[in-house]
Amino acid sequence: MQNLSPMMQQYFAVKEKHPGHIVFFRLGDFYEMFFDDAIVASKELELTLTGRDCGQQERAPMCGVPYHSCDAYIARLIKKGFKVAICEQVENPKEAKGMVKREVIRVITPGTLIESNMLSDDTNNYIACVFSGEEGYALACADISTGQLFVSQFEKDGENELVNELGRYSPSEIIFNGGLLEKKTVTGFIKDKLGCIADLLDDDKFQAAASRELITRHFSKAPEELGLEGRELSVQVLGALLAYLYETQQKGLERITAIGYVNPEQYMTLDITARRNLEIVQTMRTGEKKGTLLWVLDKTKTAMGKRLLRSFLDKPLLNPAMINKRLNAVEELYSDTLLRCDVTEQLSGVFDLERLMTRIIYGNASPREFRSLQYTATALPGLKSRLSGCQSAYLCEVCQGIDPLEDISRLIDSAIVEEPPALLKDGSVIKDGYDAQLDELRGLVHNTKQILVDIETLEKEKTGIKNLKIGYNRVFGYYIEVTKSYLDLVPQTYIRKQTLANCERYITQELKELEEKILTAGEKILILENSLFEQVRAQIAANLNRIQTTAAAIARLDVYASFAAVAANNNYCRPQVDFSSDIIIKEGRHPVVELLMNGAPFVANDTVLNNSDKQIAIITGPNMAGKSTYMRQTALIVLMAQIGSFVPAVSADIGVVDGIYTRVGASDDLASGQSTFMVEMTEVAHLLREATSRSLLILDEIGRGTSTFDGMSIARAVIEYIADKHKVGAKTLFATHYHELTELEQQLSSVKNYNIACKKRGDDIIFLRRIIPGGADDSYGIEVSKLAGVPDWIIKRAHQVLEQLEDGKTVDPVKKKGKPQEVSSQISFETVLPSEVEEALRQIDVNTLTPIEALNRLYELKKLLKE
């Protein structure tokens, strides 16, 4: 270290405090990285690796990025899981004596992002802190970009509840204590399912006394006043999270003003398997939003509304009173088209107040973002006025929660120019007329020439020197020039500075003062603009609570309006939600599939489930006939009802369910070495352990990953276990190909058989998509294979094998054919094959078609024609 240059000594002092971070070290207009940081960054960011003399024989590896465009580079590093420490110059280099002072002003991690260009508008970015103690578990999750903070606590046996809660938040970063390493269920979930970065914190970070002190200091309230009375684990986990945020962020944490204590019993259980299988926020195949329930319901106009909608989907309610209050708000907007349209139009001009306020408090907001706040504020009075006549309780609350922010609007409008530059350092941010001193300085800069002309004219009049001139050079600055013929008129207040062949040059005290003002005006303008901008920022930041309350109200209104718009556009009905044990859906439809059918008719179906004679529905029928769609649509309709949305049905009576559990599809878990059957049985075991009599189970093809008799035995045992009121007793939709299970209807009073109606003509099969009582008489496997495009030879051979098996005969081997005859290369018009449409038309017997069959066939023919 002694041989290092002073600058590199300073760098190593910083790096010693941040060994696990890539240090962006500010040097002039660049952030530079050195040694190992430079090697890593040059590879990850595709930067040129250079070197710098550092006082030693070998040059230090170095690479850098411009400070004004560093965000894009930082975003790439964060996305790859790195943490970046920003080491900034904290004093003016012109005023520094010796080495410019530098300090780390912030550590940027995946869970502490606030930059809009690094975040998705429609998704919260959570950092989670997990604590495992002797009495149980605690979880704290914060989104510092919006100021949200949630805390939960779980009993000793609450590992699954903790896992479910982590799945709801899907954090991008997790910190935890050493005790959690022993909990394989939780650590395995974090590693295999969440895919986020996770760091172990020292146990002393979770000390109760230190946590209590930090919470009290941050919120100016004791934990008991914040709703954490008797929740010591919650105090410890919250204190550890706050300590980590203070360590990494340095400033801006006053943005977090409240704690939301979340009791998991308030919300429907939706584990990660159910969310994946039901494709609530992303599809299973592509991970995209399109094709999900979120895609259907999201007609929101603001980023705040989009994030709240996701939160609603992650946390369906269990309290019918709260659900019906939401439904009342949605119904009022649904019924009043003019109100809904006006609200939607006004919401379109609202910017992301939550994240905007975070950047204002951090001091990172640009002048343009201040103007965005002002534009939003101008829309609020009209929005509040439009809601003033609403009757539903939640819309009245929203109306009350919206502050017009007229004073904020006036402040920004008077201070910030209408079209400000992107960066404060570019200047011309503060409006003319806002500050007298700034106006004077700008007048000097913009009118220097005229000011000098006026002074020159005044001096000519005072002295009588007709050819007096004011000039400028770099040595003397501004001067007064007088020819020798007028020297006798020069006043005594003039100070001689230079003698030339035919003239003398003078200065005056007034001219030197003016020169000082003119030459320093540009720099003073920037300093003063910064100061005035900071004053405006501080005034707005002081109104955080008002603006945050308004943002929360607007987000709720946006979601209610979105639900109403979707209901109106898609012909949804208001569900009746109560504490009964019944689920009665008349002509229900799958909300996603319906929209993806491009206008083709969707066959609606009824669902009746209860905890007595219709507890378990065993559904049989061929693949592709619609069993999975039917079961998923039932689950989605229940979920939609419990978030307060209208549902795709003619009518729906929903007794709240405490959880939706699914076992759908088959897949190997290659990462953990588990087979399809092992994954299936693990998921079945989980849902049987967690489900209650108030749950809804969706089970598709249980037992098909093993031999036929083993699979059928397991499937039957599972049904019998669920049917037992003392074991599970949950409402269940059970799809199967094991037709033998349909005999359970005669043996268990709670079981009912249903099947997907199909019509078979010869080798052709038509799926009617209608759920009807009774078991299916055939699996139609060969016919489905034909629809899928399996070659005709295989279809014919399969029929032969099936006939022999059904007769109890041994399957004959395939007969070898003789040498095939040569085919003429000459094409005859008589042998040209008919088109698919012609062939399909020939096979249709119009006299036997029902109206729904005719519609389906017509749609299929039209589709063939297009192809």
* Per-residue pLDDT band at 801 (split at 50, 70, 90): low
805: left (phi over 0), alpha (psi -120 to 50) or beta: alpha
pLDDT of 620 strictly over 90: no
- pLDDT for 829: 41
Let me know if 656 is exposed, middle or buried by CB neighbors in 10 A (0-12, 13-18, 19+): buried
pLDDT of 396 strictly over 60: yes
pLDDT, average across residues 63-91: 91
Residues 860 and 854 sit within 8 Å (Cβ to Cβ) = no
| Chain mean pLDDT for the chain | 87
> Which helix (H) or strand (E) covers residue 374, if one does?
helix 367-387
Residue 201 tokens read as: 């914190």
Tokens 């070898």, residue located = 816
- In order of 39, 504, 797, the CA distances from 484 in angstroms are 70, 7, 122
Residues 4 and 54 sit within 8 Å (Cβ to Cβ) = yes
Q: What is the DSSP string of 641-656?
A: HHHT--BSSSEEEEE-
For the chain, domain boundaries: 6-108, 116-266, 298-405+543-570, 436-535, 576-779, 828-867
- pLDDT for 68: 85
- pLDDT for 690: 92
Give dist(CA 504, CA 495) in Å, integer: 10
Tokens 């046996």, residue located = 157
| Top-confidence residue, 487 or 777 | 487
What does the radius of gyration of the chain's CA atoms come to, in whole angstroms? 37
| Top-confidence residue, 590 or 6 | 590
Residues 82 and 24 sit within 8 Å (Cβ to Cβ) = no
**Do 298-405+543-570 and 436-535 have matching folds?**
yes
243-287, pLDDT tens digit by residue?
999 999 988 899 999 999 998 889 999 998 899 999 999 998 888
- In order of 280, 296, 312, 626, 646, the CA distances from 592 in angstroms are 10, 6, 18, 14, 14
pLDDT, average across residues 347-370: 94
Amino acid at 436: A
Percent of the chain residues past pLDDT 70, beyond the cut: 87
- pLDDT for 100: 87
Give dist(CA 590, CA 649) in Å, integer: 9
Report how far Cα 115 is from the mean position of its chain's Cα atoms: 14
pTM for the whole structure = 0.85
Query: Angle at CA 596, nearest 5°, toward 632 and 303?
Result: 85
**Quick one: which of 139, 129, 87, 91 has its CA closest to 108?**
87
CB neighbours of residue 781 within 10 Å: 13
- pLDDT for 765: 58
- pLDDT for 762: 57
The count of residues in the chain is 867
Q: Does domain 6-108 sit in CATH 3.40.1170.10? A: yes
- Tell me: is residue 707 an annotated ligand-binding position: no
Among 132-136, 156-160, 534-538, 782-786, the range scoring the smallest mean pLDDT is 782-786
- Tell me: is residue 401 an annotated ligand-binding position: no
Q: Does domain 116-266 sit in CATH 3.30.470.30? A: no
- Tell me: is residue 624 an annotated ligand-binding position: yes
Tokens 């909990």, residue located = 183
* Per-residue pLDDT band at 540 (split at 50, 70, 90): very high
154-207, pLDDT tens digit by residue?
999 889 899 999 999 999 999 999 999 999 889 988 988 888 899 999 999 999
Among 44-58, 288-302, 733-747, the range scoring the smallest mean pLDDT is 44-58
- Tell me: is residue 227 an annotated ligand-binding position: no
What is the CATH topology of the domain spanning 436-535?
MutS, DNA mismatch repair protein; Chain A, domain 3 (1.10.1420)
Residue 395 tokens read as: 């819309």
- Tell me: is residue 384 an annotated ligand-binding position: no
Helices 393-401 and 367-387: crossing angle in degrees, nearest 10, is 140
Residue 651 tokens read as: 């009518």
**CATH match for 298-405+543-570 among 3.40.50.2300, 3.40.5.50, 1.10.1420.10, 3.40.50.720:** 1.10.1420.10
pLDDT, average across residues 559-575: 97
Among 236-245, 391-400, 447-456, 543-552, the range scoring the smallest mean pLDDT is 447-456
Give dist(CA 429, CA 531) in Å, integer: 12
Residue 658 tokens read as: 């405490």
- pLDDT for 755: 87
Percent of the chain residues past pLDDT 90, beyond the cut: 61
**Quick one: which of 504, 643, 518 has its CA closest to 572?**
643
- pLDDT for 780: 54
- pLDDT for 670: 37
Question: Within the chain, what is the greatest distance between any pair of CA atoms?
Answer: 138
Give dist(CA 498, CA 505) in Å, integer: 5
Residues 165 and 267 sit within 8 Å (Cβ to Cβ) = no
pLDDT, average across residues 628-638: 95
pLDDT, average across residues 530-559: 96
- Tell me: is residue 628 an annotated ligand-binding position: yes
Let me know if 768 is exposed, middle or buried by CB neighbors in 10 A (0-12, 13-18, 19+): middle
- The class level of CATH for 576-779 reads alpha beta
Residue 699: φ, ψ to 5° = -120, 120
